[in-house]
Structure 1
Amino acid sequence: MGTLTSLPVAKVRRAREGMRLRVNSSALTGGIILALILVGAAAAPALYPGDPLDMAASPFIWPGTDPAYPLGTDMLGRDIAAGILHGARVSLLIGLVATLVSIAIGVTFGALAGFYGGRIDWALMRATELVQTIPPFLFALAIVAILQPSVPTIVIAIGLTAWPSLARLVRAEVLRLRNSDFVQASISVGASHRRIILLDILPNTFAPVIVSASILIASAILTESSLAFLGLGDPNVASWGGMVGAGREVLRTDWYVATLPGLAIVAAVLGLNLLGDGLNDLLDVRR
């Protein structure tokens, strides 16, 4: 009898171990891809100390034909490998800082709306819905076009358009935690609202915020690449989107000029999505 009852338990344990292995493999794969990109971005000044926008050689050197330029050159003789590595620094910087701006706004709105409720909740959620009615990319496009393209402008534009979904997520978590025992205990001993929000509630919302942050960074990289593709990137720095936009003019004859930086964008977004999926399952307490 004991053997019969132990069989379902063993199956459940094997299923759980299989799920953990799958989740860890997803997060591990995404982490490896991002680690490789970070290493390349960190090594860019040492490997290519010059300006990646300078003309380094003859135009249209195909990848693999010249050891000095392993990924070839574009129509202006710029080293594509140098552009990709230096562009990684710009794309990751914009993605990270823009995400931090979105997190600051979204967490503030969501925490205040969920904790206080009433008119404050109504006002903050209506402001959130107002921003959500505007397509994020068009909103960012308008901001960059008005303020002139530059890295700080792009960061502000992306940060101001990507926070509403995070605000709703944090609000839902705060509503769930507001009536919990440890929050009521803090209220009963006279703790201030600021202390309760900062020390009791927000630390328990870190898991979904971290998962959302990985997705927001990927979205920010795509948005920056799209803006640069349309000619609204910072002209003083190398970026993946700008390289793809420049290479589209010779896509039929020299496809590698646009394809190689495009693959870099795909790798970065794929790595962030895989990492986000893995973290979502690992940090989900219901699992």
Structure 2
Amino acid sequence: MSDTQVQPVIEVVASKKKKKPVGFYIASTWIGFVVLLGLFGWLIPVRSWDSSDYDALGVGPFSPHHFLGTTQDGYDMLSGLINGARISVFVSLIAVLIGGSIGTFIGVTSAYYRGMYDRVVTTIFNVMLSIPNLVLSLALLSVLAYSDENHPTTTGRRVMVLILSLIIVIIPILGRIGRGSALQWSGREFVLASKSMGTKNFTIIKKHILPNVAPAILAIGFLAIGSVMIVEGSLALLGIGIPGGASWGSMLAAGRGNIAYSPHEVYMPALCIAFTVISCNWFGDYVRNSLDKREAKI
């Protein structure tokens, strides 16, 4: 009888990593480019954005000394876009970081403690979210930046009030997301076990709820950055944005009167705003989809 060797049958399952969508790479590249431009754009050897070249008024793109052309007043478009990236990124990030932090704290604590506090917070959030972002910003600006002939508003105060109004707009958006996510996680077994062991409420919120709420806030935070840019650009078009053509929205507002004979003054900052908003939306959608898959496994 011949010895027969039985070879074990090993089933090899190739774990295929799901490829990220093309939009994710495009969005990541553009967002990274804009952030780097905002942080290190001042190192690029170009003409100062607020320095006018009177020998090149209204020059079109791809000219020898002005790659993206100039405005009708002789300001270099490339310099303006680089400076606009810095201002737009700064305003958007400040509004989302501060507003998101305040909103998340209020939303998470209201979901955890419930009761009258939660009902009051929910009512305030619902009222604020029922008002369009642009209308709410206009109302806040008209109250906080009120000026007349005897008491004119300074540029510094105007910028600070604009940022403050954007922060207030962001608070209910991310606050409601934080509350909804905290309601879900506060009922989990590990949270209830911590409560039964006498763990302090602040410790439970810090160690168990906030780390699980953070991914949802991050996902919606990218969408909120796009919303802030749209609101800032809309306010600039209405003449109450950041003065002096400093941001992309202000450049768009300054160039709209020259669109017939100098269209690049309008479509270049408009394209920058559009690409950034779309990229933030794409990136936020990807993070949100990844979050949904993560929560399904828990």
Using the size of structure 1 for normalisation, the TM-score is 0.87
Displacement of 1:83? 0.3
Q: Which amino acid aligns with 1:137?
A: L
Asked if 2 retains the 8 angstrom alpha-carbon contact of 1:221 and 1:269, the reply is yes
Out of 18, 21, 26, the position equivalent to 2:19 is: 21
- The residue aligned with 2:8 is none
Equivalent residue of 1:103, what SS?
Answer: helix
> Is 1:81 equivalent to 2:89 in the alignment?
no
Of structures 1 and 2, the one with the larger relative CO (CA 8 A, separation 6+) is: 1
> Is 1:232 equivalent to 2:240 in the alignment?
yes
- The residue aligned with 2:211 is 203
Asked if 1 retains the 8 angstrom alpha-carbon contact of 2:174 and 2:217, the reply is yes
- The residue aligned with 2:95 is 98
Q: Which amino acid aligns with 1:63?
A: P
Q: Tell me which moved more, 265-274 or 81-90.
A: 265-274
> Is 1:217 equivalent to 2:225 in the alignment?
yes
CA distance in 1, matches of 2:90, 2:173: 22
Displacement of 1:116? 1.1
* Structure 2: 5+ residue stretches without partners: 1-10, 146-152
- Aligned runs of 1:77-156 on 2, under 5 Å? 77-146=74-143, 147=145, 148=153, 150-156=158-164
- The residue aligned with 2:149 is none
- The residue aligned with 1:186 is 194
May I ask how many residue pairs the two structures share in their alignment?
272
Displacement of 1:103? 0.8
Q: Deviations over 1:169-228 (max 9, x none)?
A: 221211111121211221122111111112211111111110011001111111111111
- The residue aligned with 1:169 is 177
Asked if 1 retains the 8 angstrom alpha-carbon contact of 2:58 and 2:69, the reply is yes
Asked if 1 retains the 8 angstrom alpha-carbon contact of 2:133 and 2:231, the reply is no
> Is 1:158 equivalent to 2:182 in the alignment?
no
Q: Which amino acid aligns with 1:256?
A: H
Q: Deviations over 1:29-76 (max 9, x none)?
A: 211011122232234212257641221342111111x22100011011
Task: Please give the root-mean-square deviation of Cα atoms over the aligned residues, in Å.
Answer: 2.1
Q: Which amino acid aligns with 2:26?
A: T
Equivalent residue of 1:74, what SS?
Answer: coil
Q: Percent identity?
A: 26
> Is 1:242 equivalent to 2:239 in the alignment?
no
Asked if 2 retains the 8 angstrom alpha-carbon contact of 1:231 and 1:245, the reply is yes
CA distance in 2, matches of 1:228, 1:140: 12
Distance 1:74-1:145 versus aligned 2 partners, 3 A rule? farther
Q: Deviations over 1:77-121 (max 9, x none)?
A: 000110001000000011101001221222122112211112111
Using the size of structure 2 for normalisation, the TM-score is 0.84
Q: Which amino acid aligns with 1:227?
A: L
CA distance in 2, matches of 1:68, 1:41: 22
Displacement of 1:234? 2.2
Structure 1: which 4+ aligned runs deviate by more than 4 Å? 48-51
* Structure 1: 5+ residue stretches without partners: 1-5
- The residue aligned with 2:3 is none
Equivalent residue of 1:249, what SS?
Answer: helix
Asked if 2 retains the 8 angstrom alpha-carbon contact of 1:101 and 1:160, the reply is no
Equivalent residue of 1:21, what SS?
Answer: coil
Asked if 2 retains the 8 angstrom alpha-carbon contact of 1:74 and 1:80, the reply is yes
